[in-house]
């Protein structure tokens, strides 16, 4: 007996394309038989998690037979103290992707629309389409702009109408690295109608340097009750494998997000590791220093190659290869170096390169030298 399961699926799911993660090292080993591999594809912290987080995980292993704290009390307590906010404003997620989906589930319906920019994080269209809502995609800044391919606030505002329920903004944005500065983000928040939920995704905020003028939207939470700020422990805190993130919002919004949150959506190891990581300020500063030096190392190489890159306030660089980026990606794969093609984001000439440790960056640069000469 056969069945057309596609016809049974929800309308938004039928044409949904799943998220494309960075290629794992194990897959490259199987495909090419390589053993000496570096991965600069998923914006992970090359230092890994802090020693505090590792110790917390080891101690928690004895209790793996127990369910985690479904309310995440200890992590919420640590975040509340760190960010100087009420615990009632927090929603924990299985990575910040999870809380982005919670926003969509709580506020979007097939009768509503979500607005975001082209070249924005791929999860925004995925969660919008899965709910059956309509995605409205704003044109990004042109390549000649000071923030090429970055969010254009005016274009975003032009798409907001009576059906708009959610606006997604990544600041800094992935995969471009571009960002909205303080004045323009504040003006945007002021212009968005109060019934529209504004999600400011700050997954890379811990890597932002002061001189970039890339603000945390947390400063405006008391002024704009419709504002939701999301963050993750996957990037600067080095806990990508444990999947833990959070949202900060008005308590009534947080209450709604927690109503649709799955029970025990953050595992016990993630909870203790994240709480411990918050205390290890020195590890975070070392991570920032490694990123700062690696960013300079890669930008210097791009100058030597005669290649341009997009401004980045994150821990990655989006480089214009002046040829199809996927071709360069495949050539690097053959040599054991994994980066990220971004043609699926509408940037066919670019590759996104995560900042690694100094030796990893050097390996990438030497490999690129061979490819460009060839």
Cis omega (within 30 of 0) for bond into 172 = yes
80: phi then psi, degrees, rounded to nearest 5: -60, -45
Q: What residues have CB less than 8 Å from 73, skipping those under 6 apart?
A: none
At 18, is the pLDDT very low, low, confident or very high (cuts 50, 70, 90)? confident
Instruction: Give me the sign of the Cα torsion angle 259, 260, 263, 265.
Output: negative
Give the whole-angstrom CA distance, residue 255 versus residue 247: 11
Q: Given a cut of 70, is residue 1 above it in pLDDT?
A: no
Give the whole-angstrom CA distance, residue 374 versus residue 371: 5
In this structure, what DSSP letter does residue 219 have? G
Per-residue pLDDT reduced to its tens digit, 355-374:
999 999 999 999 999 998 87
Longest dimension (CA), the chain: 64
Give the whole-angstrom CA distance, residue 117 versus residue 179: 12
Per-residue pLDDT reduced to its tens digit, 31-62:
878 888 999 999 999 999 999 999 999 999 99
Q: Give the lowest-confidence range in 27-31, 156-160, 168-172, 179-183.
A: 27-31
What mean pLDDT, rounded, does the chain reach? 95
Q: What percent of the chain has pLDDT over 90?
A: 89
Helices first, then strands: H and E counts in the chain: 14, 12
Record the tokens describing residue 57, joined without a space. 């995980």
pLDDT of residue 251: 98
Q: Which residue has the higher pLDDT, 280 or 15?
A: 280
In this structure, what DSSP letter does residue 60 have? H
Per-residue pLDDT reduced to its tens digit, 67-77:
999 999 999 99
Instruction: Report the candidate in 261, 210, 256, 205 with the shortest Cα–Cα distance to residue 233.
Output: 205
Q: Given a cut of 70, is residue 333 above it in pLDDT?
A: yes
Per-residue pLDDT reduced to its tens digit, 283-295:
999 999 999 999 9
Q: What residues have CB less than 8 Å from 3, skipping those under 6 apart?
A: none
What are the structural domains of the chain?
A: 21-48+282-373 (3.90.1150.10), 51-279 (3.40.640.10)
Strands (E), the chain: 38-39, 90-93, 113-117, 134-138, 164-170, 197-201, 227-232, 245-249, 316-320, 337-338, 340-341, 350-354
Q: Given a cut of 90, is residue 11 above it in pLDDT?
A: no
Per-residue pLDDT reduced to its tens digit, 231-277:
999 999 999 999 999 999 999 999 999 999 999 999 999 999 999 99
Instruction: Collapse the DSSP code of 309 into the 3-class scheme (helix H, G, I; strand E, B; otherwise coil) and give the result.
Output: strand
Give the whole-angstrom CA distance, residue 244 versus residue 203: 11
Give the whole-angstrom CA distance, residue 326 versus residue 349: 8
């Amino acid at each position: 007996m056969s069945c057309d399961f596609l016809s049974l699926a929800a309308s938004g799911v039928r044409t949904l394309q799943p998220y494309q993660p960075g290629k794992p090292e194990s897959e490259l080993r199987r495909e090419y038989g390589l053993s000496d591999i570096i991965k600069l594809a998923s914006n992970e912290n090359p230092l890994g998690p802090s020693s505090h987080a590792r110790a917390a995980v080891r101690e928690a292993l004895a209790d793996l037979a127990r369910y985690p704290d479904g309310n995440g009390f200890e992590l919420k307590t640590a975040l509340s103290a760190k960010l100087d906010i009420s615990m009632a404003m927090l929603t924990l997620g299985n990575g910040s992707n999870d809380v982005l989906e919670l926003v969509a589930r709580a506020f979007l319906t097939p009768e509503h629309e979500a607005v975001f920019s082209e070249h924005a994080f791929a999860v925004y269209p995925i969660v919008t389409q899965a709910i059956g809502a309509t995605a409205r995609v704003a044109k990004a800044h042109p390549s000649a702009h000071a923030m090429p391919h970055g969010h254009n606030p005016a274009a975003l505002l032009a798409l907001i109408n009576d059906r708009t329920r959610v606006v997604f903004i990544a600041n800094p944005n992935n995969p471009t690295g571009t960002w909205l500065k303080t004045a323009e983000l504040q003006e945007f928040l002021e212009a968005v109608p109060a019934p529209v939920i504004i999600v400011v995704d700050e997954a890379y905020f811990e890597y932002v340097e002061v001189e970039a003028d890339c603000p945390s939207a947390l400063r405006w939470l008391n002024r704009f009750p419709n504002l939701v700020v999301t963050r993750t422990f996957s990037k600067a805190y080095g806990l990508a494998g444990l999947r833990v993130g959070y949202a900060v919002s008005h308590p009534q919004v947080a209450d709604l997000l927690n109503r649709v949150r799955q029970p025990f959506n953050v595992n016990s190891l993630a909870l203790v590791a994240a709480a411990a990581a918050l205390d290890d300020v020195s590890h975070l500063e070392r991570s920032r220093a490694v990123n700062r030096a690696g960013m300079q190392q890669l930008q210097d190489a791009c100058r030597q190659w005669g290649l341009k890159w997009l401004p980045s306030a994150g821990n990655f660089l989006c480089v214009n290869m002046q040829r199809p980026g996927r071709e360069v990606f495949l050539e690097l794969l053959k040599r054991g170096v994994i980066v990220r093609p971004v043609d699926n984001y509408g940037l066919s000439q670019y590759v996104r390169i995560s900042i690694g440790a100094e030796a990893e960056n050097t390996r990438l640069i030497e490999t690129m030298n061979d490819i460009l000469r060839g």
